[in-house]
Amino acid sequence: MKKHNMDFLNGRRQRRLRHTNWVRHLTRENTLTPADLIYPIFLAQGHGVREPVLTMPGVNRLSVDEAVKEAKVAYELGIPMLAFVPNTPVELLSENGDEATNPDNLVCQALRAIKKAVPQIGLMADVAMDPYTTHGHDGVLRDECVLNDETVEILVAQSLNQALAGADVIAPSDMMDGRVGAIRRALDNGGFTQTIIMSYAAKYASCFYGPFRDAVGSKGRLQGDKRTYQMDAANSEEALREVAQDIEEGADIVIVKPGMPYLDIIQRISDNFSIPLVAYQVSGEYAMICMGAEAGIWEREAAMMESLVAFKRAGCSGILTYFALDAARLLTA
């Protein structure tokens, strides 16, 4: 057999560090743990409700009592925080989203119940009006225009409402200008100086939100689109400006949403700012992985874990994902 001259390698063989499982673990650059995960829960009215979201295989809308059970499971798996989004009953929707400031709305009920049952787990409450408005927009709508400053006033009231109910983290997801600063001032003046603001700083107008809108019931009622306040998918520099402004106004953590189609944005923010950074692996990303697995395109667990590690590799501190329970089970097995 002909002997090959391998002098060009100069003794360097990169594959040595891939040869066995133990060395791959030893030299792994990024590690995923349950502590990296935030688990979003869709809330529904009623008792004992576990209602499947048809476009999100394995995801259910939960009544508050069922959400409490889910919180206990999440805590036992080492997941540090939950996030809540309500499916508000149609009869409680209004033009100006008045239910957002109701101290007994679904989110506030869940915050109080879970804070009592599982006080050790962090609770995050989204701040936006779209789950509560008849038109499906994230703010006050007048003549087909979402009004910025009038919306911010309501978002401030919503934030205080959620903080009073026990939210540890307030997460404005509306993309109105100036809302982080207004919320920070109101929280501090209201005695909630330790309440964290996790701002959706770079939230893009995206088709990947489709299943989410099914889950909260806003898809059929959305009038027009959200491009006048959510970001253009073609823009990158704008994301840096948004993050810089939110940090200046008092954000403690920033979110990029969606996640996988915007890994470049995540890495740019990670490279340019010293602030905890979270990716939201949104409903469409989740559905794509699940339905691809159902179609035999890939193996579900492998695609799930590869996608989550990609967020850590890009620079994320944490990941909001509907895979949180499944991933945590796999990581702790």
Active-site annotation holder among 69, 115, 226, 257: 257
Reduce the DSSP state of residue 200 to 3 states and report it. strand
Cβ-Cβ contacts under 8 Å for 269 (sequence gap 6 or more)? 201, 202, 239, 240, 243, 254, 256, 277, 315
203 is catalytic: yes
Query: Between the CA of residue 182 and those of 35, 254, 293, what are the distances in Å?
Result: 30, 16, 44
Q: Residue 106 and residue 49: Cα distance in Å, rounded?
A: 13
257 is catalytic: yes
Q: In terms of Cα–Cα distance, which of 52, 55, 80, 81 is closest to 66?
A: 52
For residue 317, how many C-alpha atoms fall within 13 Å in the half-sphere facing its CB? 15
| Helical pair 148-165 and 106-117, crossing angle rounded to 10 deg | 30
Active-site annotation holder among 3, 69, 203, 226: 203
Identity of the amino acid at 292: G
Query: Between the CA of residue 244 and those of 85, 249, 250, what are the distances in Å?
Result: 27, 9, 10
Catalytic residues: 203, 257
